[in-house]
Structure 1
Amino acid sequence: MNLYDEIVAALHTVHDPEIPVNIYELGLVYGIKIEDGGKIEITMTLTAPACPAAGEIIFEVQQKVEAIEGVTDVHVKLTFDPQWTKDMMSEEAKLELGFL
């Protein structure tokens, strides 16, 4: 498995405490950039700007990606542009949450 796939797998283990679907399938991860030397930048959003679990989710993303062999630094960049909508969820997430 390459580093990108390992990062995606790690993100599949991070959940919003209020939603029983991982943040990757929810469509909260907008980008994963891998730079030389194992530096990772993850651009992501939250389901709402006032998400009470924001700090917890960002900390968990950072912690789980840092645990991957070969990763030396993780920067999680939070953005609300574009604003998250239910349309960004995978088909799997929509099925899980009853939106299909």
Structure 2
Amino acid sequence: MAQPVVKTKSPVEEAVLKQLETVIDPELGVDIVNLGLIYGVDVTDDGNCTLTMTLTTMGCPIGNLLADSIRQAVTQVPAVHTCAINLVWEPAWDLSNMSRYAKVALELHE
């Protein structure tokens, strides 16, 4: 499975995705975008953002901590006022979702 392609429609959604690169998974030490956890970004004209994402495992113990960090980062984008997280388990995350950068950072060799 290739890394998910996050489809964005606007410069604001691109800014949200860029801002999400500042959110580091505390267990892995790599940002959630390069880990391939973000499946979609949708920002309405009135500044409500919905992220579709997954976690590395269903029982991920840092889910709530990560959600707080995500909301804080996303609402730093000037045009975004709220951030809802749509947590999904399909498609399931696996190592192939990660970018080359993440694989190199975690010393995973293909």
Give the Cα–Cα distance (whole angstroms) in 2 for the partners of residues 51 and 92 of structure 1. Answer: 22
1:25 paired with 2:12, answer: no
Structure 2 residue aligned with 1:70: 79
Give the Cα–Cα distance (whole angstroms) in 1 for the partners of residues 82 and 26 of structure 2. Answer: 25
TM-align CA RMSD:
1.0
Structure 2 residue aligned with 1:11: 20
Give the Cα–Cα distance (whole angstroms) in 2 for the partners of residues 72 and 22 of structure 1. Answer: 22
Give the Cα–Cα distance (whole angstroms) in 2 for the partners of residues 58 and 82 of structure 1. Answer: 19
TM-score (norm 2): 0.85
Q: Percent identity?
A: 33
Runs (5+) with no aligned partner, structure 2: 1-10
Question: How is 1:15-94 mapped onto 2 (pairs within 5 angstroms)?
Answer: 15-94=24-103
Give the Cα–Cα distance (whole angstroms) in 2 for the partners of residues 49 and 95 of structure 1. Answer: 24
Give the Cα–Cα distance (whole angstroms) in 1 for the partners of residues 77 and 32 of structure 2. Answer: 18
Letter in 2 for 1:39: N
TM-score (norm 1): 0.93
* Bigger share in helix: 1
- Tell whether the 8 Å contact from 2:53 to 2:88 is kept in structure 1 after alignment: yes
Structure 2 residue aligned with 1:95: 104
Secondary structure of 1:81 counterpart: coil
